[in-house]
Amino acid sequence: MNPEPHEPTSVAPPSHAEDALSSVWMKVRACMQCGTCTGSCVNAHAMDITPRELWRMVQLGLKDEVFASRTFWLCSSCYYCTLRCPRGLPLTEAMGALKRLAADEGILKEKRSPRFYRSFMDTVRRYGRVREMEMMARYFLALGSPFTPLAFTPLGIRLMARGKVAPRMPRFSGPGKLDALYRKVEEVEARS
Ligand code: SF4
Ligand code: SF4
């Protein structure tokens, strides 16, 4: 079991405490830069900055640099870093908070990662699992570009030929299997 979070050892004064980053700063202010989160993260190889670096940037109030990163969009909420952090910090919650803040403030709206993440989560909410065809249909619609699907056509054909994806008609309305769970999580996150 993780210990209680310690007080910070060396962090920037919270001059940015009133801005959008303050709630995340509170979660990671005691980070001691040991790097365990980065070493534990299965997605770190695809991130532009490591989780450890991200938390240091939050401590320093580097808002523009934090939101310019795609690191938090690539977090798949596996909770491994949270489990292993020797400071007991709520790192997965902090990643989720960055996603919400970026979406709420319209930050990175021109980038693809938020739209991909939203398409993934909406599909899971509806079926309790990912349905690749529908997720990609949602993603392409969100991008609003008629040419983007063409670039994925060869990959889609290969995956279908190998039985990796099943062609099903997307459903964009009606109740989702995980609606109640998602609503509960939204309630909890709004309070944290
Ligand atoms: S594991 Fe915890 S203390 Fe170590 S770098 Fe990551 S957030 Fe900081
Ligand atoms: S919760 Fe996110 S940041 Fe933490 S180890 Fe998992 S994928 Fe990486």
Looking at the fold, whether 153 and 103 belong to one and the same domain comes out as no
- The rounded Å distance from CA 43 to ligand 2 centre is 7
Q: Which atom of ligand 1 is nearest to the CA of 32?
A: 3
C-alpha span between 188 and 62 (Å, rounded) = 27
Looking at the fold, whether 101 and 123 belong to one and the same domain comes out as no
Q: Is residue 15 part of a domain?
A: no
Look up the domain containing 135 and give its range.
Answer: 112-182
Q: Of the ligands numbered here, which is closest to the C-alpha atom of 55?
A: 1
- The rounded Å distance from CA 79 to ligand 2 centre is 6
- The rounded Å distance from CA 95 to ligand 2 centre is 8
Q: Is residue 187 part of a domain?
A: no
The DSSP call for residue 7 is: P
State the Cα angle at 90 between 85 and 92, rounded to 5°.
95
Q: Is pLDDT at 7 greater than 60 in this prediction?
A: no
Of residues 103 and 85, more confidently modeled:
85
| pLDDT at residue 110, as a whole number | 53
Note the pTM of the prediction, 2 decimals: 0.69
Crossing angle of helices 179-191/91-104, nearest 10°?
A: 90
Which residues are CB-contacts of 72 (< 8 A; sequence separation ≥ 6)?
Answer: 54, 95, 98, 99, 102
**pLDDT per residue as tens digits for the range 127-156:** 888 888 888 888 888 888 777 888 888 888
Contact in structure between 27 and 94 (CB atoms under 8 Å): yes
